[in-house]
Amino acid sequence: MKTKAFMYALVALLTLLASPASHAVLEPLEQSYEGPLLITMFSATRGQAVVSRCETCEEIILRIDENTKFYINQEEAPLSAASRYKGWSGVVFQEEGTDRVSRFRVFATNQRAPQGGEK
């Protein structure tokens, strides 16, 4: 009796594993671009980032809005401070399938003060 129940369970498990619905499909949520931050802020919560997939690739203009998160190293900072770090090394994350920057981070290990004031 136990052997028969085990066989049914095994067949059911193998059927589930073989079905296409059991395979997970990973879809990217963001595209990242690393390099000097080419950020222009038009207001405290609106701006744009110019990014490129490679040095010879076409530039892409992405929009920064009030939902975009800005980080200095690992610490979240106000968007209004972002333009002071223009040209610093960092990474921009584009929300997949949109022209929106979901978040961007500056690597503030540079030995110079940010543009427009002290840190």
| Mean pLDDT of the chain, nearest integer | 84
1 domain-assigned? no
Residues in CB range of 50: below 8 A, 6 or more apart? 38, 40, 59, 60, 61, 62
10 domain-assigned? no
79 domain-assigned? yes
- The rounded percent of the chain whose pLDDT value lies above 70 is 74
CA dihedral in degrees (107, 113, 114, 116; nearest 10)? 170
pLDDT of 111 over the 50 cut: no
pLDDT band at 45; cut points 50, 70, 90: very high
46 domain-assigned? yes
**Domain count within the chain:** 1
Range(s) of the domain holding residue 42: 28-106
Are 85 and 115 in contact, with CB atoms under 8 Å apart?
Answer: yes
CATH number at residue 34: 2.40.50.140
Q: Which residue would you say has higher pLDDT here, 53 or 114?
A: 53
Please state, in angstroms and rounded to a whole number, the distance separating the CA atoms of residues 17 and 2. Answer: 22
The count of other CB atoms within 10 Å of the CB of residue 26 is 5
Q: Kindly report whether the global pTM for this prediction surpasses the value 0.75.
A: no
